[in-house]
């Protein structure tokens, strides 16, 4: 089986190039890519020829922070429904958090999820392992065994490692397996029972606030340990201007630090919570406009390496509660591309830079052979129109949960087709 995707605007994030050309796919591999490569071959040798008519083709997106809820909370999301949602969002590779029930703190749970994914989908699915057993923050998991089982990093998901000695030991051990330690940075004592960003808005709404320093204090402590151990360290869900500054300086010093953010932190600010909208209750919380602009600048100058969805499905019963009691989190797989493309439309980033932060950069951080259009690489492709207007409609989402603050939002950037391992996995 040999397919040709011709007359496409090809975005190659690895070579940092955009050009009009063709991609030739045989079975599950890319066998050629470039201008006019289709014409070099005999037309009869192709099973299918797809005229892309100047649509864009990039590598399939890689989402490095996804909660799939299976096992444990399949009523919110299952591996099957999550993978369908990912394909609809142009995502061909997902890395799921260990916040399942039971937690991914042993090889058997990691293997179960990988096996289950192969049964229900052709998506490239990887998992993280928890850093500590059952997220207790004290007892490290068997990092060596989990690394051999294929986990791509270690994190306690939405919990920060508070014990400095535990984190130092984890960083030291991670070097033996070339593993990545991923921190969700929030000092729990400062965050306390906060439900939104601390400031004028929280005071006016009468809601307990989480100070922005709860994030940066954790990162500053961690970076001291990273410097002492020379380990690889990744900060997830960066949301404050102070954090961007600290990470920028750490990179200048040559520390092995990378970081990511989610679309809500560069598209929304704390004002979205007016009228106690629980669908914008997230963790970390939406911050000030100053912080939002700092996240955009961090993406522009390369301080923030990657964009991920932080897909956190919640059922309606847990969201439609008083703000203090509602669960945190929003879904994001099916809005990851159009929300990220806002950076392109408002001229903050070039189109190739947006795609790079959704493909090659997260792949490099996790040492995954994805996010590339190189000959011989897996045929994971996204065909999209970055300018096509549409209105977000959560009722049409493939995800089981519908907890998105972006419902009814006018957007630009539509997934036309998602190809995974050479096969069409989604078509609009």
**DSSP code per residue over 52-73:** -TT-EEEEPEEEEEE---TTT-
Of the candidates 57, 130, 127, the residue with the CA atom closest to the CA atom of residue 93: 127
Decide if 2-57+379-427 and 61-365 have a common fold: no
How confident is the model over 137-148, as a mean pLDDT?
97
Q: What's the pLDDT band for 42 if we cut at 50, 70, 90?
A: low
For residue 41, pLDDT beyond 90: no
Say if domain 61-365 classifies as CATH 3.20.20.140. yes
- Is the CB of residue 328 less than 8 Å from the CB of residue 262? no
310 tagged catalytic: yes
Confirm if 77 and 375 have CB atoms less than 8 A apart. Answer: no
Distance CA 222, CA 37 (A): 49
Predicted local confidence at residue 1, as pLDDT? 81
Does residue 358 carry a pLDDT above 80? yes
Dihedral (CA of 6, 8, 14, 15) sign: positive
CA 413 to chain centroid, in Å, comes to 18
CA distance 142 to 333: 30
Whether 235 and 304 have beta carbons less than 8 Å apart is answered as no
Look at residue 136 and tell me whether its pLDDT is greater than 80: yes
- Mean pLDDT for 47-68 is 96
Query: What span, in angstroms and rounded, lies between the C-alpha atoms of 355 and 348?
Result: 13
Catalytic residue among 12, 156, 291, 310: 310
Does residue 199 register a pLDDT over 70? yes
Q: What is the token pair recorded at 110?
A: 């990691």
**Structure confidence by residue, pLDDT tens digits, 160-187:** 999 999 999 999 999 999 999 999 999 9
> Which residues have C-beta within 8 Å of that of residue 223, sequence separation ≥ 6?
233, 246, 250, 255, 257
CA angle 336, 377, 93 (to 5 degrees): 25
Average pLDDT over residues 52-58: 95
Q: Provide the token pair at 130.
A: 């928890």
The CATH number for 2-57+379-427, chosen from 1.20.1600.10, 3.40.1260.10, 2.30.40.10, 3.40.50.720, is 2.30.40.10
Burial class (CB in 10 A: 0-12, 13-18, 19+), 330: buried
For residues 132 and 141, what is the distance between their CA atoms, to the nearest angstrom?
A: 5
Residues 6+ apart with CB under 8 A from 261: 237, 238, 239, 295, 298, 299, 304, 307, 308
pLDDT of residue 43: 66
Q: At what angle do helices 289-300 and 241-252 cross, to 10 degrees?
A: 30
**What is the C-alpha to C-alpha distance for residues 123 and 74, in angstroms, rounded to an integer?**
18
Output the pLDDT for position 60: 98
Contact 30/4 with Cβ under 8 angstroms? Answer: no
Residues 6+ apart with CB under 8 A from 393: 407, 408
Q: What length is written for the chain?
A: 428
Residue 15's pLDDT band (cuts 50, 70, 90): very high
Spatial separation of the C-alpha atoms in residues 296 and 320, rounded to whole Å: 31
Q: Indicate the domain borders of the chain.
A: 2-57+379-427, 61-365
Instruction: With beta carbons less than 8 A apart as the criterion, state whether 68 and 120 touch.
Output: no
Both tokens assigned to 80: 């099957």
Retrieve residue 153's tokens: 């990093």
Query: How many Å apart are CA 165 and CA 228, to the nearest integer?
Result: 12
Q: Quick one: average pLDDT of 366-392? A: 97
pLDDT band at 39 (very low <50, low <70, confident <90, very high): confident
**pLDDT at site 292:** 98
Residue 339 has pLDDT above 70, yes or no: yes
Q: CA–CA separation, 38 vs 2, rounded Å?
A: 11
Q: Could you report the per-residue pLDDT of 232-265, keeping only the tens digit for each?
A: 999 999 999 999 999 999 999 999 999 999 999 9
Query: Using an 8 Å Cβ cutoff, are 109 and 103 in contact?
Result: yes
């Amino acid at each position: 089986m040999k397919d040709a995707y011709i007359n496409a605007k090809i975005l190659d994030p690895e070579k940092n190039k955009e050009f009009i050309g063709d991609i030739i796919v045989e079975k599950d591999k890319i066998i050629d890519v470039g201008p006019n490569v289709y014409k070099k071959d005999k037309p009869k040798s192709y099973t299918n020829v797809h005229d892309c008519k100047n649509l864009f083709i990039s590598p399939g997106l890689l989402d490095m922070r996804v909660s799939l809820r299976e096992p444990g909370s399949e009523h919110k999301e299952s591996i099957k429904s999550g993978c369908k949602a990912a394909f609809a969002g142009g995502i061909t590779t997902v890395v799921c958090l260990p916040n399942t029930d039971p937690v991914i703190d042993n090889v058997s749970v990691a293997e179960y999820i990988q096996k289950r994914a192969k049964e229900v989908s052709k998506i490239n699915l990887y998992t993280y392992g928890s850093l500590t057993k059952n997220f207790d923050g004290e007892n490290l998991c068997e990092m060596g065994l989990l690394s051999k089982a294929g986990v791509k990093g270690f994190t306690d998901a939405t919990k920060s490692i508070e014990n400095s000695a535990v984190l130092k030991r984890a960083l030291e051990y991670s070097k033996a397996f070339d593993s990545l330690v991923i921190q969700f940075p929030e000092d729990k004592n400062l965050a306390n029972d906060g439900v939104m960003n601390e400031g004028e808005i929280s005071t006016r709404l009468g809601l307990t606030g989480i100070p922005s320093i709860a994030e940066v204090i954790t990162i500053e402590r961690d970076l001291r340990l990273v410097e002492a151990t020379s380990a690889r360290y990744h900060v997830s869900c960066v949301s404050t201007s102070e954090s961007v500054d600290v990470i920028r300086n750490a990179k200048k010093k040559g520390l092995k630090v990378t970081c990511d953010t989610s679309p809500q932190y560069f598209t929304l600010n704390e004002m979205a919570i007016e009228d106690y909208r629980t669908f914008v209750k997230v963790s970390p919380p939406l911050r000030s406009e100053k912080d939002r602009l700092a996240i955009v600048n961090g993406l522009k100058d390369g301080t923030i390496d990657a964009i991920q969805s932080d897909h956190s499905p919640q059922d309606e019963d847990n969201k439609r509660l008083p703000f203090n009691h509602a669960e945190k989190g929003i879904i994001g797989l099916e809005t990851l591309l159009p929300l990220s493309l806002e950076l392109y439309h408002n001229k903050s980033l070039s189109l190739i830079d947006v795609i790079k932060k959704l493909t090659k950069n997260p792949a490099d951080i996790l040492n995954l052979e994805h996010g590339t259009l190189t000959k011989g690489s897996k045929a994971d492709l996204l065909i999209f129109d970055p300018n096509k207007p549409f209105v977000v409609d959560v009722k049409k989402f493939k995800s089981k949960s519908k907890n998105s603050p972006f419902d009814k939002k006018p957007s630009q950037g539509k997934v036309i087709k998602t190809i995974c391992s050479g096969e069409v996995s989604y078509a609009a």
